[in-house]
Amino acid sequence: MISSPHFLYGDGFYLNMTTGIEPPNVLEHEAALVYEPFTGAAIKADKRLQINILLKPTPKINVFSKINEELVFPVVWINESATVGKSDADLLYGLLVLPAEVVYILQIILCILGSLLFLGPLFYFVVLHYSNVDEKDTRKPNGAVPEMKSYNVYENENVFDDVKEYKIGEPEHTNTRVTSTTSTTELIENQKGMKF
């Protein structure tokens, strides 16, 4: 009959019927296998078994005739352990753990670098923009570009009232001359008959 050493995880009946056996210790008497989760390679293995003899009362054998009831007699328990060697452990570390640590560190470095590459130019343009707010816009030659206004067409029916007047010159196919006093609304009405 085979069991765990000191009847670990067994019925307490067997432990109580035997004298001289200490209560089982999980760390010392349990079979265990430690493996690497990515490859499934065994790193440490502990096989622990106990061999027992089942004794029954037998009147034909003098030694067993004095036994009142069945009992389990522990004979020996076996502990076979194996651990991966240092060279194999270093190989597993170099192939599995070290690359994962390098990738993790690179992720952090690249996140920081990407943030700096994004925030650096953004900071530069914000500072550049706010440093030029009070200066005159040099892209407008002599103020020739009019100010842009936005209109809500639904609230203001005549959106062309506030548009500045310009001297456009004479259209090619009409006899009407547009001058600087002509409003934009009149200009649009005059151009309805023109061909472009």
* 129-139 tens-digit pLDDT: 777 655 555 55
* 23-46 tens-digit pLDDT: 888 888 999 999 888 888 889 999
Query: Which residues is 172 bridged to in the sheet?
Result: none
Whether 170 has a pLDDT exceeding 90, the answer reads no
- Cα separation, 94 vs 83, whole angstroms: 18
What integer best gives the mean pLDDT of the chain? 77
User: Hey, what long-range contacts does 183-187 have (CB within 8 A, 24 or more apart)?
Assistant: 184/160, 185/158, 185/160, 185/161
Whether 108 has a pLDDT exceeding 90, the answer reads yes
Cα dist. 70→13, 54, 73, 150, 151 in Å?
A: 12, 7, 10, 103, 104
**Range name among 74-78, 111-115, 178-182 with the lowest pLDDT average:** 178-182
Question: pTM, whole model, 2 decimals?
Answer: 0.46
Residue holding tokens 């390098």? Answer: 102
User: Where do the H-state alpha helices sit in the chain?
Assistant: 12-17, 26-29, 62-65, 86-92, 98-131, 184-191
All residues at 6 or more sequence positions from 81 whose CB lies less than 8 Å from its CB, including other chains: 44, 45, 46, 47
Q: Compute the average pLDDT of residues 4-10.
A: 88
